[in-house]
Structure 1
Amino acid sequence: LHFDYKFDPIGGKIQHYLLEKSRVVKQQPGERNFHSFYHLLYGENDLQEYGLNLRAEDYHYINQGNCCRVAKIDDKRDYQQLKQAFKIVGFTPDEISTIWKIVAVILHLGNLKFTDVDGEHCSITRSNDKNDQLTWISKLLSCEEENISSTLTSRVVAARNEVIQARQNITRAHYGRDALSKALYERLFEWLIKYINKTLSKGTNDASQSSLVIGVLDIYGFEIFQNNSFEQLCINYCNEKLQQLFIELVLKQEQEEYERENITWQHVDYFNNKVICDLIEQSRTGILAYLDEACQTVGTVTDEMFLDSINKALKTHKHYSSWALAPGDKLWKNVNNNKSFLIRHYAGDVIYSVDGFLDKNRDTLFDDFKRLLYYSRNPIISSMWPEGEKSITSVTRRPLTAGTLFRNSMISLSNLLSSKQPFYVRCIKPNDEKSPTLFDQTRVEHQIAYLGLLENVRVRRAGFCHRAPYDRFVQRYKIIDCIRSRLYPRGAPTRENAAYICQELHLNNDVAYGTTKLFIKQPISLFQLEKKRTEGLQFIVTILQKYTRSWHQYRLFRREISAIKIQNVYRKYRARSYISKLNELFRNVASTDDLGKNIRWPAPKPGFVPMNNLLKQMYQRWRAFKVIQRIPADQRATFELKLLAGDYLKERPSFLESSIRQEWKGDYLLLPEENAHSIEYRKSISELRGKDGFNHVLFSTLAIKLNSRIKMDERAIVLTDKYLYKLDPRKNFHVKKTGISINDITGLSVTSGKEQLIVVHLVSNNDLVFYMHTKLDRVGEFVGLIAKLKRKSSNFTVDVQRYVSAQIDKHNHIINIISGGVDKVEFRKGSNKNISLLLPNSD
């Protein structure tokens, strides 16, 4: 497990030692095979996909322990959790499917039967139903049935570029089948570990892997069964090596350190099991060495011959025995004397049966199987067997035996543990019945004795509970309150500094001073030191908090200042960028016809919206100025008048369609084409000017006026800069009543259509209603002139509606517009004080 400087886990790596692959094909009574087989059978809903149509109890490889079901294990739930774990680690659906296919293949291989042909040859027993094992093995491995059958029942031997195919008998075929099953499981196990390590290694680096590492080793315990074979020898040898390591690291090194540090102590005797480890592993005279020699001997060598060889070689060894060496011993009663030997382990005497020792030690997987699986159509399975690529004619070196591989793994593991600082967790079995309520005192005492726990306790009691180098001790405890200010002058911590600390805390009677280390005998003294240190930490923590807070606030302040500077520069940059973009867009607009009217403005950033609106206003004013400059000087007054009228007549479409485009002449009655009596009109206007003192006639036209009796009168409507006049064209444009002062006009009402109807609202609530005789739309011109004259008035309005209202003789009337049915314009009084304006179709 890899940790970062904050002690948070950042990754890991799995290393496997001593996979008990023999369990794949055989289990002791009361034992189960590996959990994955039961997970698949009890957890998968669609077992037909893998051809697993039998009960779990019917599969040979998992039923030998007679405990397929365990009360406290929920295989179905565990299977779902395992599938979820696969997804979390990152396995693809194809990879997950291949994993379960290999597990299913192993189950099918266990039920594969062979038929004897002539004593020397055999063939695979086939069935005609859907449970044919070979068919499913071929399908799941993606290999041809013929190739699988040939590989299981024969063997290809290459020698001197020649290939010889040797047929197998039933015994050899079963051996090959079991070797294939174990190899499939082992390769799958190794492939899974590599895949998981690849995921766990993400985020780690060489620096983190070389420090802040915790390793956890979980390994099987000592095994003594009714029938102990090669597997139990390997397992018990493993425990012997771990016990030897425990003795070296905990007992032997403890006492050697006291001698090295010149500390007075009481020697404790303990059993060193190195002699038992040498009995098994020694390179030339160990049991594994003799087993390898028997496996490599040319000719027929049996298990009994191997037993004879170790009996002769080890007959004087005090931890080895057999029936041939001690025939009268009661141990050999009810035991197959010719095939057994005894080793006196640290945990007790164990009798091993040599039956199958040679075959299990060879554990050879023929190259035929490797080639078969390498050429699988499943790329994942093929990648697990790269050595299958070799030519069929190539001669391979003799592989290392299972015992040698096991011994090498144990030596590697021991070297790794020796280089670390191990902590032991000893598991004690309370009983052999797997019961949570039984406590077998004799069994427990026996385990405590052979695990060396008593010796370990004696060494601890005779020695010291804690030791530390002087420099580390002083560095840790110099912060204690009563010592901190007057501990020692500045310089390297020394033994005198450590002695001063112990003296101040009255611990001199419970410590010993070694050459390089200080030793503390009683835990209570160590607790006292730690308590005082914890109290002193409060002062140190306060100082650290003070400086940390100060540094943190200064950092926040500098960060805030920096952020303000960055924001300021960035805002200027954004503004410049935006202005530059606008400059680029509007670079030559002054020379274009539309002065950039159709240019699409870029979307401003949120902070630039006010500035953007201001720029748009500036641009619109500039463009309006340029447009006005293009208008001839004599037409600019009319243009401004049209703009003013347009502000009031936005709801009158005819104004935008025609009126704004036509020429406005103002005093139309001066024009002979408009008024045949223009001379009389001119005289009448001259008289009025002299009488009322106005300066200019702004607008004049012929119209039908609606009087107070709802009758129609022909009138000439004349607008000057001071008055609005109603003249009678039939009486030489004689003034009818006094002119209406511009100041008395409060507003106008016009229709939203093309009608030339105008209602002039007056302060007297007796409005002027008239309809102009013209084919052109002159409403806009009249509205613009009135609006210009009333520009300084805040309550002037122009109402544009489909139906207009008017105050006539202080009564409110609604004027409805009706087109058609008449030859000329007429006003008619209707019901409910409504007035109808009848217009010919042409109007």
Structure 2
Amino acid sequence: MVLLSKINEDAIVDNLKKRYMDDYIFTYIGPVLISINPFKQMPYFGDKEVEMYQGAAQYENPPHIYALADNMYRNMMIDSENQCVIISGESGAGKTVAAKYIMGYISKVSGGGPKVQHVKDIILQSNPLLEAFGNAKTVRNNNSSRFGKYFEIQFSSGGEPDGGKISNFLLEKSRVVMRNPGERSFHIFYQLIEGATAEQKGTLGITSLDYYTYLNQSGSYKVDDINDKSDFQETTHAMDVIGISSENNSMVLQIVAGVLHLGNITFKEAGNYAAVESEEFLAFPAFLLGIDQNRLKEKLTSRKMDSKWGNAIESIDVTLNVEQACYTRDALSKALHSRVFDFLVESINKAMVKDHKDFNIGVLDIYGFEIFQEEYVQEGIKWSQIEYFNNKIVCDLIESKSPPGIMCILDDVCATMHAVGEGADQTMLQKLRMQINTHEHFNSWNQGFIIHHYAGKVSYDAEGFCERNRDVLFNDLIELMQSSEIAFIRARFPENLNAEKKGRPTTAGSKIKKQANDLVSTLMKCTPHYIRCIKPNETKKPRDWEESRAKHQVEYLGLKENIRVRRAGYAYRRVFKKFLNRYAILTKESWPTWQGDEKQGVLHLLRSVNMDQDQFQLGRTKVFIKAPESLFLLEETRERKFDGYARTIQKAWRKYMARKKYVQMREEASDLLLNRKERRRHSLNRNFVGDYIGMDDRPELRQFLGKREKIDFADKVTKYDRRFKGIKRDLILTPKSVYLIGREKVKQGPEKGQVKEVMKRRIDVEKILAVSLSTMQDDFMVVHEQEYDSLLDCVFKTEFISLLSRRFEEKTQRKLPLKFNNTLEMKLKKENWGFLSGGGSRQVLFVGGQGDMPVLILPANLCRSASARDFQRTHVSPTGRPSLRSAPVHPELTSTPPRGLHRGLQNGGHKNSNHAANQRNSQHHGQRHPAPGNPTRPFLPSNGSQLKERGGSQQPPNLDCLKVPIKELQGPTDPQPAGLLQGGATQTCPKTQTAGAPVYSSSRSVCSPPTLSEDGTELTVRERSTARLTEEKNVFLCCLLTNECNSRLHHQTKRPA
């Protein structure tokens, strides 16, 4: 509103009205926030708005209380200064709700662990508890705070709320015993009657609302938009969260019920003295308070007075009249409620106590004062004077000592009064007229006086002024409560009655002055922020605007003067030293500290951002910046600097953590296989990549995963079916599941004939029973699951198993079972077709040998064999640093291979490749086979494939021994007679085996071996002597491929292992 063309009350009210009707309840006057009570729940207080305003500059988003709260929180963290917000406005303007939003926002944006979350819960739950015992319905507000509250949220140096403190003052105790028509007492009395269980009602003697004298005198029981029954449950829950024990919880409610029963005790005249009218009403309050019924009756109708004659003190029993007896009863009721309220505040503070204070943000819902022009004069800043109302003159009228103000005169009268009656009140009025009748903000009349406050004229009835100011609880009542059988009640009255009394007794007025002075001293240590709350109507209905009421509040809140000062003055002021600390990062000369005169340092920083000279002034100790845009320029430049440095630090940290993570993963993977499985040298020190198929660029594979599912591992593998037929699959591991993705041709529809990705299997990590591996150098593994198992050939099995083990332990809180055996059992899936579809199992047998890689062979008798050579023993662990490039294992492996042969390195790329050890060419990924451990050794080619050397040709080798005669067992889509299993052995031909290489055969093979002629050719089926089929287990045999057989085989390009 600083930009309004006209600055008067009418223009301000019209602007506020337009925004209010459009549901914009917040408006800025510079940094001051104006809040209008909408009398309905607005939609912009959710998590979306919290995220929007967190860390944003004030001008980036519409005015909002979250922006002010975020500004306080950030200033506290950046400047290391305590902050406070002063919320002002009349009853019903929304001060308490505004305070709740501030505390809720800070609770959401600040981090922390379980302890911090506990403090946050206490901060939020303290509101409904204190409102139950301290709020009430008034004519102008259904939930009016009848006490003052200053709430401090204490933070650690890291910005986490780790403590808090509540300072309460000016509780309206008189509301317990009396109130105006149409109003209610404190909410807790109505909550207890409506929300107590049947058992609680029986124990506490709870009946109906109109039964209790303290509640039925105003005739108001129900309140719109307030559900006393549900609020009672919230109140008791808040006590549990804060940490009040169930026993103390019951005691609090017992005292509340006892106060209600005390109010039903009435008195009658017995001569000139008071007597209890119906003694049956004494029983329940005496029972609930744990005191003797006769003693209660005695203390309500009489009291002891001390008479002093010289040095002798004599106690005299004085019988009270009806008026005095009622006063005594009400004084006890007010004292009980007040001390229970103090106990609740004390319990909240104990639950949030911390040993030391770092920073805090205070929230005060009371009117605050700003110093407008005095600071400009003190600092020597040029500016035009603006007239405004200074409320100090009214404060002096109330509390000044010389000349005496109203409170001083009131205390003097109370110190000399000896009886309850009208005499003391009239004496006070006479003294006020004599002392301050000429004051411009004071007027008197027959029964009271008038004070011209900032909010307007307020009339005070003098009747009962002196008695209420004395605020005396007679020693007889304290002694009575100290005799209670209930320890909780005795603890609420800790006074030492035998202590020597010195000076005047404390009055209500003196308590107010002390609390106000303590509050001001606390606020002076904080950086203040302001919220002005406006109540738009008296009907408490949404979208109802009363022009005259709004204008009155605009006037007494001083909004016009505030706008004029903000427009003519400076939007920002800061002490030189704090300004330098905040913006030191802008230049090299000022970072980390400015060396030299502070004023020159500030000037240097302002010039570094090219700020115009007319946009700032330098005072004696402070810098003043005129326009908010100039301040935003400084803040944006500062944020960019921090952002750049943060990115550099973040980059270095991520690099360090990534290296540390992969070293740790290698070590964990090594520990899994240490002394249990033989390893290749290169597999010990290679890098772990995780995603070997580029999932970020493969939406056809991503479609099978969750939207935000993280990829731990992805690679192409070979999966073997029941007939040991190798099929290509994509193996993907996420924190939740293991996926096997295959490809199939579409058989019908517009995409008929196209090859599409299909999810062949999904296994939840926690449902994996075990993983089986051999003890040799191979890449086989069997993933066991309840339904059926999967035999996989994975080059990077160590990395996969390491990640799978970690995810399995996270899900199940136990280690992944790893089985090592040279005979692996594989449970088959039950199918509904074919003669081999009956489930059962298969075995994979491993034998040692002298080859480089284990190889799957399908000879004529359907028995397979492979062997493994020992490159690295099982007890060897990886070195400290991962190698960035794979290196040859032995010097002899670096020799030039035969012409026409392609070399490969195990578990790494080609030796001369520019890529890292684990990078592979994605173009040939689908067709390539694993590389052998020895680059000079050839691969077994696919069926019918022939490779030629550069500049010449070779005769194809005789591989008839590897042909599969039984086509129905091999399958129509099998492209080769022999599948390759990666790991550490090359293929062999049984015809050329040496004597030293053991050969294993199945005791019950799938079919009988074929009959061969003398030249080695296969006979026809008709010429076979026998052909037997069985559903018994197939046995996968492994044997050695000799050098003689290797020399006859052509090499085929494979992917690195």
Q: Same fold (TM over 0.5)?
A: yes
CA distance in 1, matches of 2:651, 2:595: 26
Deviation at 1:316, TM superposition (A): 1.6
The amino acid across from 1:309 in the alignment is: K
Bigger proportion of residues as helix: 1
Question: 3-state SS of the aligned residue for 1:549?
Answer: helix
Q: Which stretches in structure 1 are left out of the alignment for 5+ residues? A: 220-241, 324-336, 568-605, 611-843
Which moves more between the two structures, 141-150 or 487-496? 487-496
Question: 3-state SS of the aligned residue for 1:519?
Answer: strand
Describe the shift of the 1:145–1:394 C-alpha distance in structure 2 as closer, same or farther (beyond 3 A). farther
Q: Where do 1:224-303 residues align within 5 Å?
A: 242-243=367-368, 246=369, 249-251=370-372, 255-283=373-401, 285-297=404-416, 301-303=423-425
Deviation at 1:107, TM superposition (A): 0.9
Tell me the equivalent position of 1:712.
none
Tell me if structure 2 keeps the 8 A contact 1:474–1:498.
Answer: no
CA distance in 2, matches of 1:488, 1:166: 76
Describe the shift of the 1:125–1:3 C-alpha distance in structure 2 as closer, same or farther (beyond 3 A). same
Describe the shift of the 1:53–1:262 C-alpha distance in structure 2 as closer, same or farther (beyond 3 A). closer
Describe the shift of the 1:22–1:298 C-alpha distance in structure 2 as closer, same or farther (beyond 3 A). closer
Tell me the equivalent position of 1:215.
362
Tell me if structure 1 keeps the 8 A contact 2:611–2:630.
Answer: no
Q: Pick from 334, 341, 352 the counterpart of residue 449 of structure 2.
A: 341
Deviation at 1:147, TM superposition (A): 0.6
Bigger CA radius of gyration: 1
Tell me if structure 2 keeps the 8 A contact 1:25–1:110.
Answer: yes
Q: Pick from 438, 456, 461 the counterpart of residue 353 of structure 1.
A: 461
**Are residue 370 (structure 1) and residue 478 (structure 2) matched?**
yes
**CA distances 1:661-689 after superposition (whole Å, capped 9, x unpaired):** xxxxxxxxxxxxxxxxxxxxxxxxxxxxx
Deviation at 1:213, TM superposition (A): 0.7
Question: 3-state SS of the aligned residue for 1:295?
Answer: helix
Tell me if structure 2 keeps the 8 A contact 1:428–1:444.
Answer: yes
Question: 3-state SS of the aligned residue for 1:183?
Answer: helix
Deviation at 1:473, TM superposition (A): 4.3
Deviation at 1:486, TM superposition (A): 11
Tell me the equivalent position of 2:73.
none
Q: Pick from 178, 192, 216 the counterpart of residue 40 of structure 1.
A: 192
Deviation at 1:398, TM superposition (A): 5.0
The amino acid across from 1:318 in the alignment is: E
Q: Where do 1:110-509 residues align within 5 Å?
A: 110-119=263-272, 121-126=273-278, 132-159=280-307, 160-201=312-353, 204-206=354-356, 209=357, 211-219=358-366, 242-243=367-368, 246=369, 249-251=370-372, 255-283=373-401, 285-297=404-416, 301-323=423-445, 337=446, 339-387=447-495, 390=497, 399-470=505-576, 472-473=578-579, 476-477=582-583, 491=595, 495=600, 498-499=603-604, 501-502=606-607, 504-505=609-610, 507-509=612-614
Q: Where do 1:526-545 residues align within 5 Å?
A: 526-545=631-650
Deviation at 1:536, TM superposition (A): 3.6
Q: Where do 1:608-687 residues align within 5 Å?
A: none
Tell me the equivalent position of 1:752.
none
Describe the shift of the 1:362–1:213 C-alpha distance in structure 2 as closer, same or farther (beyond 3 A). same
Question: 3-state SS of the aligned residue for 1:372?
Answer: helix
Q: Which stretches in structure 2 are left out of the alignment for 5+ residues? A: 1-152, 673-814, 820-1057
Q: After TM superposition, where is structure 1 displaced by more than 6 Å over at least 4 residues in a row? A: 393-397, 483-490, 554-567
**Are residue 73 (structure 1) and residue 180 (structure 2) matched?**
no
CA distance in 1, matches of 2:244, 2:648: 51
Question: 3-state SS of the aligned residue for 2:532?
Answer: coil
Q: Pick from 599, 606, 616 the counterpart of residue 511 of structure 1.
A: 616
Question: 3-state SS of the aligned residue for 2:214?
Answer: helix
Tell me if structure 1 keeps the 8 A contact 2:299–2:476.
Answer: yes
Describe the shift of the 1:553–1:70 C-alpha distance in structure 2 as closer, same or farther (beyond 3 A). same
Deviation at 1:87, TM superposition (A): 1.6
**CA distances 1:281-323 after superposition (whole Å, capped 9, x unpaired):** 1236111222222222255643122211211222222211123
Question: 3-state SS of the aligned residue for 2:224?
Answer: coil
The amino acid across from 1:103 in the alignment is: V
Tell me if structure 2 keeps the 8 A contact 1:56–1:68.
Answer: yes
CA distance in 2, matches of 1:356, 1:298: 13
Describe the shift of the 1:138–1:565 C-alpha distance in structure 2 as closer, same or farther (beyond 3 A). farther
Q: Where do 1:46-125 residues align within 5 Å?
A: 46=198, 48-119=201-272, 121-125=273-277
Describe the shift of the 1:503–1:216 C-alpha distance in structure 2 as closer, same or farther (beyond 3 A). closer
Deviation at 1:540, TM superposition (A): 1.5
CA distance in 1, matches of 2:371, 2:593: 38
C-alpha RMSD over aligned residues: 3.8
Deviation at 1:256, TM superposition (A): 2.9
Tell me the equivalent position of 2:162.
10
Tell me if structure 1 keeps the 8 A contact 2:165–2:352.
Answer: yes
Tell me if structure 1 keeps the 8 A contact 2:579–2:602.
Answer: no
Tell me if structure 2 keeps the 8 A contact 1:250–1:456.
Answer: no
CA distance in 1, matches of 2:424, 2:582: 65
CA distance in 2, matches of 1:396, 1:537: 61
Tell me if structure 2 keeps the 8 A contact 1:50–1:140.
Answer: no
Tell me if structure 2 keeps the 8 A contact 1:487–1:500.
Answer: no
Question: 3-state SS of the aligned residue for 1:13?
Answer: strand
Tell me the equivalent position of 2:900.
none
CA distance in 1, matches of 2:217, 2:512: 25
**Are residue 23 (structure 1) and residue 178 (structure 2) matched?**
no
CA distance in 1, matches of 2:412, 2:333: 26
Describe the shift of the 1:548–1:470 C-alpha distance in structure 2 as closer, same or farther (beyond 3 A). farther
Describe the shift of the 1:400–1:543 C-alpha distance in structure 2 as closer, same or farther (beyond 3 A). same
**CA distances 1:547-598 after superposition (whole Å, capped 9, x unpaired):** 433555677799999999999xxxxxxxxxxxxxxxxxxxxxxxxxxxxxxx
Describe the shift of the 1:413–1:509 C-alpha distance in structure 2 as closer, same or farther (beyond 3 A). closer
CA distance in 2, matches of 1:306, 1:501: 60
Question: 3-state SS of the aligned residue for 1:411?
Answer: helix
**CA distances 1:194-216 after superposition (whole Å, capped 9, x unpaired):** 12211111xx221xx1x211111
Question: 3-state SS of the aligned residue for 2:443?
Answer: strand
Describe the shift of the 1:503–1:545 C-alpha distance in structure 2 as closer, same or farther (beyond 3 A). closer
Question: 3-state SS of the aligned residue for 1:427?
Answer: strand
CA distance in 2, matches of 1:440, 1:472: 45
Describe the shift of the 1:437–1:486 C-alpha distance in structure 2 as closer, same or farther (beyond 3 A). closer
Question: 3-state SS of the aligned residue for 1:134?
Answer: helix
Tell me if structure 2 keeps the 8 A contact 1:513–1:519.
Answer: yes
The amino acid across from 1:316 in the alignment is: T
CA distance in 1, matches of 2:671, 2:414: 79
Describe the shift of the 1:59–1:518 C-alpha distance in structure 2 as closer, same or farther (beyond 3 A). same
Deviation at 1:114, TM superposition (A): 0.6
Tell me if structure 2 keeps the 8 A contact 1:112–1:124.
Answer: yes
The amino acid across from 2:181 in the alignment is: P
Q: Alignment identity in percent?
A: 36
**CA distances 1:357-386 after superposition (whole Å, capped 9, x unpaired):** 121111211111101111100000011112
Deviation at 1:51, TM superposition (A): 4.5
Describe the shift of the 1:512–1:135 C-alpha distance in structure 2 as closer, same or farther (beyond 3 A). same
Question: 3-state SS of the aligned residue for 1:426?
Answer: strand
Tell me the equivalent position of 1:709.
none
Tell me if structure 1 keeps the 8 A contact 2:290–2:484.
Answer: yes
**CA distances 1:729-770 after superposition (whole Å, capped 9, x unpaired):** xxxxxxxxxxxxxxxxxxxxxxxxxxxxxxxxxxxxxxxxxx
Describe the shift of the 1:396–1:489 C-alpha distance in structure 2 as closer, same or farther (beyond 3 A). closer
Question: 3-state SS of the aligned residue for 1:102?
Answer: helix
Q: Which has the higher contact order (CA 8 A, sep 6+)?
A: 2
CA distance in 1, matches of 2:361, 2:341: 23
Tell me the equivalent position of 1:233.
none
